[in-house]
Copies of this chain bind each other. A is one copy, B any other.
Amino acid sequence: MAYRLYYWPSIQGRGEFVRLVLEDAGAEYVDVARGPEGAKAIIAKLRGAPLAPFAPPILEDGEQMLFQTAVICSYLAEKHGLVRPEQKHHALALAMTIADLAAEAHDTHHPVSTGLYYQDQKPEALKRAKAFREERMPKFLGYFERQITSEGILGDFSYVDLSLFQTMMGLEYAFPNAFARVTEKTPKLLELRDRVRARPRIAAYLASQRRIAFNEDGLFRRYPELDE
């Protein structure tokens, strides 16, 4: 039975980390909110209680319902051989650290409140983005660079590499100048990104209509003033 993914239909966002695992695994899935039901299908899931998810992405595997991006990715990876069983805890911790980095990238354009528009929190965004570019992005990417010893961050290829790829793509989209500066010191991460991009199923996915373009409603947004 096909997996059912519930995520906002017009952005990559956190759902993209899940889509990449599904695509690399060659798994059959329905991207529910991109079908006729639209985003209403997500709202209905969030309203169920108890055992309701807090937020999308949400994945259904038959009767099993999962939420939280890293939990879903880890679950899929275990089922589809995209992580070694003995590395699952370490992989999950890395996936959560990548999620923390993505959340910090988000907060550069929403440092005060997700309930306000970017334009209404721009002075704060300028300050937070500066700290992100100069302190946090180098800290996170430097850490990941030090972990890479061979093909992937865990030795063999794993789902964590897919999440790292997506984050590199997002950071380059949102902060092209800062990304170029910071990644001068992270050659292994750039190589890893290129290896992931060249994986046949990933390359096919990226070239397909299923890949939504980055845009200014998602997690990674390009506001030139935040990338001085």
Contacts and interface: CB of A to CB of B under 8 A. Distances in A.
B111 A96 contact: no
Interface in A133-156: 135, 140, 143, 146-149
Contacts of A113: 127-128, 131, 135
Nearest to A111: B111
Bin chain A's interface residue count.
Answer: 35 or more
A147 B50 contact: yes
Given A112-B124, A124-B111, A146 B96 contact: no
Nearest to A49: B146
Give the number of copies in the complex: 2
Interface stretch (A1-9, A25-33, A67-75, A192-200): A67-75
21 contacts: A49-B147, A50-B146, A54-B93, A54-B143, A66-B89, A66-B90, A66-B93, A67-B93, A71-B89, A71-B93, A75-B89, A100-B103, A111-B111, A111-B112, A111-B124, A112-B124, A112-B127, A112-B128, A115-B131, A121-B127, A124-B127
Given A90-B51, A147-B50, A115 B128 contact: no
Interface string A96-108: 1100100100010
Contacts of A112: 111, 124, 127-128, 131
A6 to B, nearest CB: 14
Nearest to A90: B51
A119 interface: no
A64 B96 CA distance: 18
Contacts of A218: none
Interface of A: 49-54, 64-68, 70-71, 75, 89-90, 92-93, 96-97, 100, 103, 107, 111-116, 121, 124, 127-128, 131, 135, 140, 143, 146-149
A68 B97 contact: yes
A103 B102 CA distance: 13
Nearest to A127: B112
A146 B103 CA distance: 25
